[in-house]
Amino acid sequence: MAKKIEGYIKLMVPAGTANPSPPLGPALGQRGVNIMEFTKAFNAKTADLEKSIPIPTIITVYADKSFTFETKTPPASYYLKKAAGLKSGSTEPGRIVAATVTMKQCREIAELKFVDLSANDLDQAQKIIAGSARSMGFEVSE
């Protein structure tokens, strides 16, 4: 028989360095999830990734306080900032250009993120990433 789902917790957790401090600890503690068990399992699963990459994580909490979790690929904004060599996007997107990224870079990011994007093919995924870049204040060049 399937377990009864009590709820979902969506968090952005740094890869390989999860610890029980806020915001992770309180979010899990509210639902009665064993915090140390989650941090150990998450750190083991993300050990092969670069440290401190933000990983979107969806934790499914069951009625018996057990849990499962699913990790996604890092956000497109992380990859775009890394490609541009910046810490953040433009303070005024549309007015101030923070950096320039190429369509080739957008395609590489789209290949990495394809499983998490709602695109049917790589060309559409590339356009999604290019749109994200523009909304961050990056200029997209051919």
Give tens-digit pLDDT for 26-40.
999 999 999 999 999
CATH number for 91: 1.10.10.250
Assess whether 34 and 83 both reside in one domain: no
| Separation of alpha carbons 89 and 134, rounded Å | 10
Residues 82 and 108 in one domain: yes
Q: What is the pLDDT of residues 36-84, one digit of tens each?
A: 999 999 999 999 988 889 999 999 999 998 999 999 999 999 999 999 9
Domain that holds residue 90: 76-141
Question: Angle 11-15-20 (CA atoms, 0-180°, nearest 5)?
Answer: 60
Cα separation, 75 vs 21, in Å, equals 22
> Do 91 and 118 lie in a common domain?
yes
- pLDDT at position 107 is 94
**DSSP of 40-108:** HHHHHHTTTSPTT-EEEEEEEEETTS-EEEEE-PPPHHHHHHHHHT-SS--SSTTTS--EEEEHHHHHH
Q: How many domains does the chain have?
A: 2
pTM here is 0.86
